[in-house]
Amino acid sequence: MIQINSKPGNAGRSGFAALTLGALGIVYGDIGTSPLYALDQIFGVHPDLARSADNVLGALSLVVWTLTVIVAIKYAVLVLRAQNDGEGGVFALYGLLHLQNKRGMHILLMALMLGAGLLFGDGFITPAISVLSAVEGLGVATPQLSGAVVPITCGLLTLLFAFQFKGTSGVAAVFAPVLLVWFAVIAAMGLAQIVAHPGILWAFNPWYGLRFLASRDGFEALLIMGALMLVVTGGEAMYADLGHFGAAPIRTSWFGLVYPALLLNYLGQGAFLLSGEPLAGGNLFFSLVPHALLYPMVLLATAATVIASQALISGAFTLAAQATRLGLFPRLTIRHTHHAHAGQVYLPVINWGLYVGCIALVLGFGSSERLGAAYGLAVAGVMVITSLAMIPVSRLYWGWSKPLVAVVWGGLALFNGAFLMASSLKFLQGGFVPMTMGLLVFLVMVTWRWGRKATFAAYASHTSMTMRELVALHRSQDWYIERNAVIMAAQPLRALSDRGPALMGLLWERNGVLPRNMIFVEVTHRKVPYVHDDRYQVTVFARDAEHGSVIGVEVRFGFMEEPNVERVLEDLARHRLIDLPPEHRHWVVHVSQEHLLPGRHIGVAARIRLWLFQFLRNLSQTAYGYYGLGDNVRLSAEIMPVRVR
């Protein structure tokens, strides 16, 4: 996801304009390229839908009002208000609700974890269907090239994923201009058709949509609603990218350009259907393009879909990094692709996992029409979860009354729930793909969270000295190891009655002597995006020139921050708040590596869960490596067996 450091509150007019323009390239790529395939899916539900003016007006009325209610009202007007220290997205909601100790909150937190998993599931489909639908324009321009659509799509996706390690900063500058041209062109395409057939404007009357749905049998009406989800896929990116651009620029670009352009193009496609002209190559979107401009339009559409895919892939990287910092995901290797923007990251495991999934979908489904059956179900699930999570947010943070909450969020939850039920009909036709991927990611998060808690409980059960006993032992020494020791602790050490790490017992038994200066470091991940004024807390247990020091340091990070402990310790040492030389080459970091063993009376299900957690641990970075320790400092690791109950 592209990180822009400037905040709209601090930016002048030029800064606000840059943020508004930048939002085009990052926030609206996915929903902005939906016209390539959405209406084809809606009218593909039944072959006779496009032959009647009432059907066309009814279907377009549903498109207009779905786009208006779900994206313009729900997300642009309402959800963007739910800011967690300026950030948005499912984990921002997770942080807001995690602070509240209310009945039933645990279920909502689990639902948000599931929502994060469903977003990963959506990440497998968006690049595949977007690029595939754009390249299909070649088959319209030159029917002889229809057989090359799938290979070309696979080639483009391969190039896209292969260059992810370089980051997006080098090409991000062209994202917004290309999408600006894209929205201007699709708006002009639609407007030309509307001028020729202005009767399509009756689609703004919601009665046509309601009557159209009522005229179909129940099953067909649900299929149509399921296809309508393709119109709003990508709308959740408005909230996910809130921290990068701010609410005002996102709203301005939506209402100022994206929303009108989408309405004009969808209405233009409906106007073309009213004209009775045959579809070029069976593709509604490219039928609006004059034949002489087909190749330039295919190139523009391909560029727009690649940009949409890039934004989603970057978003998946950021989502995984946030989950890791919240303790919900294994500590995967994270590479920063820009020295100034911490939000620009690359995760190799996520990148190549998405790549394999995208290629498999393109080869397995073969066309955007068939792939459309797999699209929308995961997004519908995320939207329902967001609506439900906004109920306590609006009550606890906005002070809304219960009747207002019931009308607004109850109504939107039911509205989104209807789309989820309709999309579920596509489960066997492909909807199982994102749902399965989403559930697998959810299983990983649940297992990792359980495993970390179980490991901590097992580790804490080891008998260890209190800090009072450790200080007394340290003060009784006649001589010391002349070493500046950093010892990783599992919990904050604030009082003499707190128990020190079990690792200290091992070091004492092995060496019979202690380091002169001991710094106990515990890292706390708060459920907030950023930690501002209380980055660390230093507790001095003992300190004098003759015996050295025993000091506890708690270092705190938010889920949007890079947890570089080494940098914090260097800063503390530089200001003489702890007894370490500023040069980290003179440190020795002591860590323990837990060797997990099943409890003697553990059940079969718990053994399977423990096995899965151990598998995830093998994929995960070590804690000290993740926190920036161990690369530039001397490291001492002790293996400690612990039994998990």
* 1 located within any domain: no
- Which whole number is the average pLDDT over 565-576? 87
* 120 located within any domain: yes
Question: Of 7-11, 81-85, 115-119, 332-336, where does mean pLDDT reach its minimum?
Answer: 7-11
pLDDT tens per residue across span 391-433: 999 998 999 999 999 999 999 999 999 999 998 888 888 888 8
* 456 located within any domain: no
Angle formed at CA 507 by CA 505 and CA 509, multiple of 5 degrees:
65
Is 424 found in the same domain as 364? yes
Question: Of 29-33, 141-145, 528-532, 558-562, where does mean pLDDT reach its minimum?
Answer: 141-145
pLDDT band at 76 (very low <50, low <70, confident <90, very high): very high
* Contact predicate 4/19, CB 8 Å: yes
Is 409 found in the same domain as 470? no
pLDDT at 616 exceeding the cut of 70: yes
Is 355 found in the same domain as 329? yes
Residue partners of 595: CB distance under 8 A and separation at least 6: 639, 640, 641, 642
pLDDT at 607 exceeding the cut of 70: yes
Is 505 found in the same domain as 560? yes
pLDDT score at 443: 94
pLDDT at 172 exceeding the cut of 70: no
Sign of the dihedral defined by the CA atoms of residues 54, 57, 58, 59, in that order: positive
Element (H, E) at 520: strand 515-525
pLDDT higher at 6 or 370? 370
* 153 located within any domain: yes
pLDDT score at 134: 87
Q: Residue 265 belongs to a domain with what CATH number?
A: 1.20.1740.10
pLDDT band at 5 (very low <50, low <70, confident <90, very high): very low
Last residue in a domain, options 426, 450, 474: 450
* 563 located within any domain: yes
pLDDT at 281 exceeding the cut of 90: no
pLDDT score at 7: 38
Is 489 found in the same domain as 445? no
pLDDT at 625 exceeding the cut of 60: yes
User: What distance in Å separates the CA atoms of residue 197 and residue 216, rounded to the nearest whole number?
Assistant: 26
Q: Which two tokens stand for residue 391?
A: 């109920």
pLDDT score at 51: 67
pLDDT score at 174: 75
Is 408 found in the same domain as 497? no
- Which whole number is the average pLDDT over 613-621? 88
Q: For the whole model, what pTM was predicted?
A: 0.85
* Contact predicate 134/301, CB 8 Å: yes
pLDDT tens per residue across span 428-470: 888 888 889 999 999 999 999 988 888 877 776 766 789 999 9
* 18 located within any domain: yes
Is 415 found in the same domain as 474? no
Of the candidates 472, 461, 517, 460, the residue with the CA atom closest to the CA atom of residue 496: 472
pLDDT higher at 263 or 565? 263
Is 162 found in the same domain as 126? yes
Last residue in a domain, options 427, 450, 473: 450
Contacts from 205-212 at CB under 8 Å and sequence distance 24+? 205/61, 206/61, 206/65, 207/61, 208/54, 208/57, 208/58, 208/60, 208/61, 209/58, 209/59, 209/61, 209/62, 209/64, 209/65, 211/54, 211/58, 212/54, 212/55, 212/57, 212/58, 212/59, 212/61, 212/62
Of the candidates 551, 461, 447, the residue with the CA atom closest to the CA atom of residue 499: 461
pLDDT score at 74: 96
**What is the separation, in whole angstroms, between the first and last Cα of the chain?**
39
pLDDT at 171 exceeding the cut of 70: no
Is 155 found in the same domain as 87? yes
Question: Of 90-94, 105-109, 241-245, where does mean pLDDT reach its minimum?
Answer: 241-245
Contacts from 345-352 at CB under 8 Å and sequence distance 24+? 345/317, 345/318, 345/321, 346/164, 346/165, 346/167, 346/317, 347/317, 347/320, 347/321, 348/165, 349/619, 350/316, 350/317, 350/320, 351/161, 351/164, 351/165, 351/313, 351/317, 352/161
- What range defines the domain where residue 498 resides? 461-644
pLDDT score at 184: 96
Percent of the chain with pLDDT over 90: 32
Of the candidates 183, 201, 193, the residue with the CA atom closest to the CA atom of residue 289: 193
- Which whole number is the average pLDDT over 119-139? 86
Is 499 found in the same domain as 424? no
The domain total for the chain is: 2
pLDDT score at 9: 41
pLDDT tens per residue across span 27-49: 898 899 999 988 888 887 666 66
* 455 located within any domain: no
pLDDT score at 45: 64
pLDDT tens per residue across span 532-555: 888 899 999 999 888 889 999 999
Average pLDDT, the chain: 85
Is 480 found in the same domain as 425? no
pLDDT at 64 exceeding the cut of 90: yes
Last residue in a domain, options 450, 479, 507: 450
Of the candidates 263, 310, 254, 226, the residue with the CA atom closest to the CA atom of residue 75: 254
pLDDT at 325 exceeding the cut of 70: yes
Is 415 found in the same domain as 557? no
pLDDT higher at 342 or 561? 561
User: 554 - beta bridge partners?
Assistant: 522, 537
* 8 located within any domain: no
